[in-house]
Structure 1
Amino acid sequence: MLSYADTLAEFAAGLVDDAFEPGCLTAASRGNLALYRNNVRLNRVDALENAFPTVAALVGRDWFRAMARAYVIAMPAASANLHDDGAALAGFLDGFAPAADLPYLADVARFDWARHRAWYAPDSAPLDRARLAALDEGGFGRCTLGFDPALALVVSSRWPIADIAAMHEGGASADPDAGGQAVLVWREGWRAVELHEAGWLSALLAGSPVGDALSGAEGEPELLLAWLFGHGLIRNLEENE
């Protein structure tokens, strides 16, 4: 006889695999398995529609939900938390044949996912400004920065994802041929950043010391750094020897 845990695991497997019939089913319950499967998939599709509003607006609700159903059939949920369910959607769109005429869609999905994850990111304590004030220029250059857990950088080397996002929020129509753009996302909002800024920002987010990340940076990176500090998006400083 299966244990309770094994019974649950077998039943869960039956919810995601149409060809698998759990042995734990009774004759009375076997006919209802398709209903359970459909309810699970509908809940996942609903969650995806909520998590990817820009993508849904671009393609229309019917197209989005049909795509999302294909996704949930192809990609079993990796977590019991529906808020985690769209992590692989952008990659899925990269290879989704019906989206071939919308090659920017996957990068827009990456933007939507960053905004979704920002909303559910954990809180963190603000930076003690006295620690920043105590550093000289050399000390600051040796620091690695700790960022708000909600902060994310989304880079599209080819598509104007900031213009597309702004269009979705009531801005001017976006030109898909305008070229690549990068976007900083945090819980309260987002802003476009230049692609050359995305290079050193990526290095800082990956843990490079400030001096190393800014070495050879174009323009005036201190302006964007000051903005990050001013908006409370830098939460910690660690000075390296």
Structure 2
Amino acid sequence: MVSLADIERDFAAAIRDQDLPPPPGTRGRCGEMPSRRFAIYRNNVHVSLIEALAATFPVVARLVGEDFFRAMARAYVGEQLPRTPVLIDYGDGFPDFVERFAPARQLPYLADVARLEWARSRAYHAAEATALTTTDLAAIRPELVPTARLGLHPSLRIVSSDWPVLDIWETNSHDAVVRPVDLSTGGVDVAVLRPDVQVELHRLAAGWRTMLVRLLEGARLADAWESAAAADDIDLAAFLGWLIAAGAITEVAMADGAESRR
């Protein structure tokens, strides 16, 4: 007897590959093999997923043009169907796919632009959280600050690239015309954050990425600073000032177990 898992596997394979016939057991109202109907259904699935990708990666689509993007997205759909019924979760593997998609290799920064757009999407749909204010943080005794662990906003994402992807995104996100960017300006670390309604992109100074990564790992503030200072001359006061202004701190856990939160 054919198992449900076998039926689902065959159905998914037929949806992915447009050269495959309808899966075994598929029948029309009169018992006929519904090849044409299934082809229409399969095409509708592909079109809806391509449109979902275009909505999530609009700058990638603008950089390569609609026809190229749809062809690339269709190839991705043929390789990776959604794992959940929620379309906003679809596309996590698209940046890596773009990186290995041979026709896109002439744009070596394209995959990182896709990573930035995926981070924006994840930040937009992340959980809500209330950021601590300067007043909240001023109540912490200064001698406890170095051993504090900072809880950061759940929307926070970090994107690092060898290319100026933030400039590329900012230049091409609000205009239908693709604008050139000086690629020789080098790479960038970007913090993606949604403290309120809008997703914000922040260009990180030297050492700030290391600080954020260590804090996200649960390191104490002093230990995070030590890790960052080993490679970069980091201004700790400027970093903390940015965290507060950006609304990135949602909790402070003290070494003695006390917590400060709004």
Q: Deviations over 1:84-110 (max 9, x none)?
A: 111011111111100111111111111
Q: Is residue 2:34 matched to residue 1:29?
A: yes
- 2:156 maps to amino acid: L
Rg: which structure is higher? 2
Separation in structure 1 between the aligned mates of residue 75 and residue 203 of structure 2, nearest angstrom: 32
- Return closer, same or farther for 1:4/1:98 CA change in 2, 3 Å cut-off: closer
Question: What's the RMSD between the two structures over aligned residues?
Answer: 2.6
Q: State how 1:119-198 maps to structure 2 within 5 Å.
A: 119-127=124-132, 132-156=137-161, 158-169=162-173, 173-187=180-194, 188=198, 189-198=200-209
Q: Deviations over 1:32-81 (max 9, x none)?
A: 11111111111111011110112112111111111111111111222221
Separation in structure 2 between the aligned mates of residue 105 and residue 238 of structure 1, nearest angstrom: 39
Q: Deviations over 1:193-228 (max 9, x none)?
A: 124321222222232221111112523132132222
Identity %: 37
Q: Contact (CA 8 Å) 2:128, 2:154: kept in 1 or not?
A: yes
Q: Report the 3-state secondary structure (helix = DSSP H, G, I; strand = E; otherwise coil) of the residue aligned with 2:92.
A: coil
Separation in structure 1 between the aligned mates of residue 124 and residue 2 of structure 2, nearest angstrom: 40
Which residue is 2:260 aligned to? Answer: none
- Return closer, same or farther for 1:200/1:20 CA change in 2, 3 Å cut-off: farther
Separation in structure 2 between the aligned mates of residue 73 and residue 103 of structure 1, nearest angstrom: 23
Q: Report the 3-state secondary structure (helix = DSSP H, G, I; strand = E; otherwise coil) of the residue aligned with 2:253.
A: strand
Picking from 209, 219, 234, the partner of 2:234 is: 219
Q: Is residue 2:218 matched to residue 1:207?
A: yes
Picking from 247, 252, 257, the partner of 1:237 is: 252
Number of matched pairs: 240
Which residue is 2:67 aligned to? Answer: 62
Bigger shift: 228-237 or 125-134? Answer: 125-134
Q: Contact (CA 8 Å) 1:147, 1:234: kept in 2 or not?
A: yes
Q: Contact (CA 8 Å) 1:155, 1:195: kept in 2 or not?
A: no
Separation in structure 2 between the aligned mates of residue 89 and residue 5 of structure 1, nearest angstrom: 26
Bigger shift: 65-74 or 53-62? Answer: 53-62
TM-score (norm 1): 0.87
- Return closer, same or farther for 1:195/1:43 CA change in 2, 3 Å cut-off: farther
Separation in structure 1 between the aligned mates of residue 54 and residue 132 of structure 2, nearest angstrom: 35
Instruction: List gaps (5 residues or longer) in structure 1.
Output: none
Picking from 27, 44, 47, the partner of 1:42 is: 47
Bigger shift: 41-50 or 72-81? Answer: 72-81
Q: Deviations over 1:114-149 (max 9, x none)?
A: 111111112123337666334233422222222222
Separation in structure 1 between the aligned mates of residue 40 and residue 255 of structure 2, nearest angstrom: 58
Instruction: Report deviation, 1:2.
Output: 6.9
Which residue is 2:15 aligned to? Answer: 15
Separation in structure 1 between the aligned mates of residue 22 and residue 34 of structure 2, nearest angstrom: 11
Bigger shift: 215-224 or 164-173? Answer: 164-173
Q: Report the 3-state secondary structure (helix = DSSP H, G, I; strand = E; otherwise coil) of the residue aligned with 1:22.
A: coil
